[in-house]
Amino acid sequence: MMERRHFLKTGAALGVAAGAGGLSAPALSQGAAARTLRFVPQANLANFDPIWGTQFVVRNASMLVWDTLYGIDNTFTPRRQMVESEEVSADGRTWTFRLREGLRFHDGEPVRAADCVASLNRWAVRDGMGQMIRAIQEELVAVDDRTFRWRLRQPYPKMLLALGKNNTPIAFMMPERIARTDPFQQIAEFVGSGPMRFNRGEWVPGARATWSRFDQYVPRQEAPNWLSGGKRMLVDRVEWIIQPDPATAAAALQQGEVDWWETPLNDLLPTFRRNRNIRIEVADPLGNVGCLRFNHLHAPFNNPRIRQAVAMIVNQPDMMRAVIGDDSLWKQMNGFFTPETPNYTEAGGEILSRPRDGAAARRLLQEAGYNGEPVTMLVAQDIAWLAQMGQVANAALRSVGMNVDFVATDWGTVGARRASREPRERGGWNIFFTWFAGADCTNPASYLGLRAHGDGAWFGWPTDPGIEAGRDKWFAAANAAEEKAACEEINRAACQSLPFVPTGFFRVNQAFRSNVTGVVPGPLPWFWGVAKS
């Protein structure tokens, strides 16, 4: 297993200046420094299209540039954001939305209803909830510059949740010319109406990305609450410093060369706690769900029994102790929904709860006809959690005779390659690792990893009518008890077909300088309301 403390073996690892690590921006004056927030994100911003893909790092960056019609608050209630008002017909089939006055894009053009129509059309092709709406859509049209209408063949009661949810792809509003880009092709222009403008000329993938305050942004008057309320930027500039080396990032934080580190390794926290200039907090109480994702299109994981064999041998405690270490920050999850939330269930979860059983896994592989076919495993080395998951899974699969082709790469490459439906020998893949925010896994509404509708599903493209039937029941549920029963049905089906193997539930810490204020826990970093003294 890869040693998580390898970078701490030299006594100077955390005491040196971080200049050698690529933090080569010009020195800032004291006043400019107080107006610039320097942030170390979880991964490289390799692409910048929040509809084309589902990477959290892209979503988090996109929040600064593009705004949404609605935004959920910390009770998962969708609140108006770009929308001034909405009306729904008595039969629940026609929604009419009116935009707030004064909304402008970063190029100075007004936000029009036609922009929203084009943006929603592109989003609905790629998003699970959007696909549901699209399947019952009669028309989506602009009525005038500030009003658009969505008419459906049947009611869709969770419309506002679909438009305001925080999980990817989010329904971001773009100018019509950009939103007309094929949803399966990346956009090439990054103009939004959000609180910050993207500085395209300063973007160096693998090194840095920057944003500047958009002075024409019109925030709502309500207090900010997650994706809702007034997104008031208290700094003039946000700089993302891409820093895959933990020792260099740690030194930069200690020296004050960066202000906020999204995902520090737990091994570093004791050192940080001894530094009165650094604060440590749990980033999101709802935590994360680790994921070993299969490609269901090609051998060997088009065979459910081979997927089950992997579930028998991949041990959550091994995974979580490698990823997090601190037993207080993780727990075993014997189901697919977020632990400690109302829909969590272990119905049918015996395959996840049983101790690791190598002998049973070998027998099942033999019975399923596994003949040593190579298994291409994509493992992002620039995200410590994923690197550790990959190391543990690699050892586990090899221990039962699986022929693992271990591809050590970066997260940007994983994000691009996992979109391929080709077999492994033509540039495809069999397994990759990721995680879902616990906030996205509390119910099946927009839980990407738990869709199983074949070609329309998330990367891996599983097919399971049982999961989909349970999901339909959840949407039709009249009360919480019926929703819970539907989740139990989904969980039982998922534990049989295994769209992915949960690798454990875990919480992580974030670290920031003590002169940074306004950092609010949640499923992603909220930059509005954050200030420096």
- For the chain, residues classed under CATH 3.40.190.10 are 34-46+186-284+509-532
Tens digit of pLDDT for each residue in 440-458? 999 999 899 999 999 989 9
Tokens of 292: 């070993």
The answer, yes or no, to whether residue 373 has pLDDT greater than 90, is yes
**pLDDT of the residue at 28:** 54
- For the chain, residues classed under CATH 3.10.105.10 are 288-506
Residue 26 confidence class, pLDDT cut points 50, 70, 90? very low
Phi then psi for residue 43, to 5 deg, are: -160, 170
User: Is it true that domain 34-46+186-284+509-532 has CATH number 3.40.190.10?
Assistant: yes
Length of the chain: 533
β-partners of residue 209 are 240
How high is the mean pLDDT of the chain?
Answer: 93
- For the chain, residues classed under CATH 3.90.76.10 are 70-179
Tens digit of pLDDT for each residue in 186-240? 999 999 999 999 999 999 999 999 999 999 999 999 999 999 999 999 999 999 9
pTM: 0.84
Task: Select the CATH number that applies to the domain covering 70-179 from these four: 3.30.1490.20, 3.30.70.980, 1.10.1370.30, 3.90.76.10.
Answer: 3.90.76.10
Tens digit of pLDDT for each residue in 227-239? 999 999 999 999 9
DSSP line for 61-122: HHHHH--BSEEE-TTS-EEESSEEEEEE-TTS-EEEEEEPTT-B-TTSPBP-HHHHHHHHHH
Task: Select the CATH number that applies to the domain covering 288-506 from these four: 3.40.1390.20, 3.40.140.10, 3.10.105.10, 3.30.200.20.
Answer: 3.10.105.10
The answer, yes or no, to whether residue 12 has pLDDT greater than 60, is no
Tokens of 120: 């929603």
- Give me the helices (H) in 214-331, please: 246-255, 269-273, 304-313, 316-323
